[in-house]
Structure 1
Amino acid sequence: MNIMRASPIQLFEYGPFTIRRMRPGEADAASNASAFGPLAIVDHMQLKSGARIAMHQHVNDEILHYVWRGSLFHEDRHGERTPLSAKKIMLISAGEGVEHEESAPIVDTEMLQIFIRPQQAGGEGRVQFMARPQGIVEGAWTLLAGPQGEAAPLTLRQRVWAWDIRLAKQAVTEAPCRPGLAQWLYVAEGTISVGGERLGKGDALSDGLNRLPPIEASRDAILLCLLVDLQAPATLAGQISGH
């Protein structure tokens, strides 16, 4: 199994923002190359109350915004604001361009921004939302995003699937899996044991095309599992995830 530990060398701070950047599949976190197919970058972000990222543009990247603590406001170029939280997830399929502003005006916020390279560059930019009033489901994996035709709430322009779960202490589960797809498991909160290895907040685990062992929560945990087609074609034209 390949474990990526949360490391201080991945961390950088800028004013009210703290970001830890991981490039899945890398043995060397300081490297610039991605080694997990189209899954390119995972940014674990903490925003202090009052943080604001001014209007900016994304091109080509598929960006899953996953908030589990606090709330983040997305504002489009027309001034329409949408709050994101554990009850609402956002996917930006940037294509030829999507402009938006992000802010955390009310409370401190913790979230992931997951950058996925689409199969092709270009196409109409779009923003999708998934609402779930109950928040993160305890004890059952929830499908968040997947390719077109997979009946996922959010549609990705790539052969990547995203799932999440809230796992109570001592509960056991198995990560979602499909033949021919690699699992990438991320610990957003808590502590878990997998195959005799202990993983804490910010750690990630993968094992190529081998199925991961059962997962047991040592503490209450929030987990994300991404299933990735490592051989899927992907453009390198992503504004952030590509060149």
Structure 2
Amino acid sequence: MNLIKAQRDQLFEFGPFTIRRQRPGEGFGPLAVIDQMALKTGAQIPLHRHQDDEIFSYVWRGSAQHLQENGESLALNAKRALVVNAGAGIRHEESTPLIETSMLQAYIRPAQSGGEAHVQTFTRAEGVPDNHWTLLAGPEGSTAPMTLRQAVYIYDLKLARGKQLEVPHLPGYASWISVLDGIVRVGEQRAQQGEAVSDSAGLPVISGERDATLVLFLVKHDAPAVSSGTMSGS
């Protein structure tokens, strides 16, 4: 089991954006990039194009706007997550016009290049349930509410202080937990905001030292993947 500390050299700051970028590495195969971002009010990423990226967007504090090229706008917040299957190409814009926002974006390499682009959302009227892992995204054919063109499962968890839970696991999958806020213990490791815990297999029981928000990636590390993505291929 590895603890990925929050290092200064992971940070990029420009204008209203502060981004902590982590690259899980070869042991996580198609999971290419994980960004944790702090966005000030008025931040905007103008209309831009992606291809061959599977993009998972997760807001845990504040609100962001996802604007598609056709003019359709989607609000992302703690109740709504987003997956973009960029496929052969898609253009969109992202902004935080109303409030300062904390957001995670993960870029995953798809199993194959091309295909029709799709935008998917998953909404929970009551937000993230307490002390319960929720499956947000998974491979096509899985029971996940949002689908990825890759052998990756994504869960979230709002863990209360003093609570303890088993971590989901699948044989042949590596595990990566991003700590978005709070402090947790995973086995003997103590992880806080901006840090991550990973293992090439399953992870031990997780407990809340302070109330915490977590995102878990289960990744088939040897899954076939293309490297032609706009972000995931870089």
Asked if Structure 1 and Structure 2 have the same fold, meaning a TM-score greater than 0.5 normalized by the shorter chain, the answer is yes
1:35, CA displacement in angstroms?
A: 3.8
- Cα distance in 1 for residues equivalent to 2:172 and 2:46: 40
Aligned-residue CA RMSD in angstroms?
0.9
Counterparts of residues 102-121 of structure 1 (less than 5 Å): 102-121=94-113
| Higher relative contact order, chain-length normalized (CA < 8 Å, sep 6+) | 2
In 2, Cα distance between equivalents of 1:37 and 1:3 = 18
Structure 1: runs of 5 or more not aligned: 26-33
2: CA distance, partners of 1:17 / 1:35: 29
The Cα offsets for residues 13-65 of structure 1, whole Å up to 9 and x where unpaired, read as 1100110100014xxxxxxxx44110010010111001111111111100000
Indicate conservation of the 8 Å contact 2:27/2:174, yes or no: no
Residue identity matched to 1:224: V
State percent identity of aligned pairs.
50
Asked whether the 8 Å contact 2:27–2:200 carries over to 1, the reply is no
SS in 1 for 2:9: helix
Structure 2, unpaired ranges of 5+? none
* Shift >3 Å, 4+ stretches: none
Give aligned pairs, total: 234
Are 1:160 and 2:152 matched, yes or no? yes
Separation of aligned partners in 2, 1:194 and 1:101: 37
Report whether the alignment pairs 1:233 with 2:233. Answer: no
1:198 match = 190
Q: Aligned partners of 1:80, 1:207: CA distance in 2, in Å?
A: 39
Q: What residue number does 1:214 align with?
A: 205
Is contact 2:63–2:99 with CA below 8 Å preserved after alignment?
A: yes
Q: Which amino acid aligns with 2:82?
A: M
Closer/same/farther in 2, CA of residues 151 and 179 from structure 1, 3 Å limit: same
| Structure 2 residue 144 is the aligned partner of structure 1 residue 172 | no
Give, in whole Å, the separation in 1 of the partners of 2:97 and 2:210: 30
Deviates more, 1:155-164 or 1:186-195: 186-195
Q: Which of the two has greater strand per residue?
A: 2
1:1-243 paired onto structure 2 within 5 Å = 1-25=1-25, 34-209=26-201, 211-243=202-234
TM-score by length of 1: 0.94
TM superposition shift of 1:78: 1.6
SS in 2 for 1:9: helix
* TM-score, scaled relative to structure 2: 0.98
SS in 1 for 2:60: strand
> CA shift at 1:212, angstroms?
1.1
